[in-house]
Copies of this chain bind each other. A is one copy, B any other.
Amino acid sequence: MTREEFTEEIVAARLAKGLTWQELADAIDRPVVWTTAALLGQHPIPAEQAAVLVGMLDLDESAIPVLAAVPMRGGLPTAVPTDPTIYRFYEALQVYGGAIKELIHEQFGDGIMSAINFSVCLEKKPHPAGDRVVVTFDGKFLPYDWTSAAT
């Protein structure tokens, strides 16, 4: 079975067993955003932790090496997401992407926010006018740096 097929099984098994993503993350003691992304096929899951999750979700043992392998990443079914919850982040990029780029350059110089040395955090914060979803993208600044391996 492919990673994609195991991902489908994971999604179904989680619902059937009534497990939350938080419970799955707690079971392997990893951050919940990371764990959810990994279970949705976006990160390798080390064999030891994969074994725990495979047990909780009653998957076949053969899933373990597949979950432990680095997957082909990129989880959106279309280039422009159609799901409203995900689309809002794409929209924010359409509206604020240019400004974020300008300000990274103004404050840090030429370079990028790494999406590899990176973490995402999602919090629920109260506000008099209604709870807020606060999503923090936190990546190391990588300056453009023209370096070569020593020869």
**Overall SS of chain A's interface:** mixed
Measured between alpha carbons, how far is A136 from B22 in the docked complex, in Å?
Answer: 22
Shortest C-beta distance, A33 to chain B (Å), equals 5
A62 to B143 CA separation, bound complex (whole angstroms)? 26
Bound form: Cα–Cα A91–B17 in Å:
31
A43 in complex: contacting residue of B76, B91, B144, B150, CB < 8 Å = B144
Measured between beta carbons, the chain B residues less than 8 angstroms from A124 are 107-108, 141
How many copies are assembled? 10
- What string of 1s and 0s marks CB contacts (under 8 Å) between A101-129 and chain B? 11111111011111111111110111101
- A143 CB to closest chain B CB, in angstroms? 7
22 sampled A-B residue pairs with Cβ under 8 A? A1-B12, A2-B12, A33-B103, A69-B105, A72-B83, A73-B84, A74-B78, A76-B82, A76-B94, A76-B97, A83-B101, A85-B101, A85-B112, A90-B90, A92-B115, A104-B133, A107-B124, A108-B133, A113-B135, A133-B137, A134-B137, A140-B147
Q: Report which A residues bind B (CB closer than 8 A).
A: 1-2, 8, 11-12, 15-16, 18, 20-22, 31-34, 36-37, 40, 42-44, 62, 65-66, 68-70, 72-108, 110-122, 124-127, 129-150
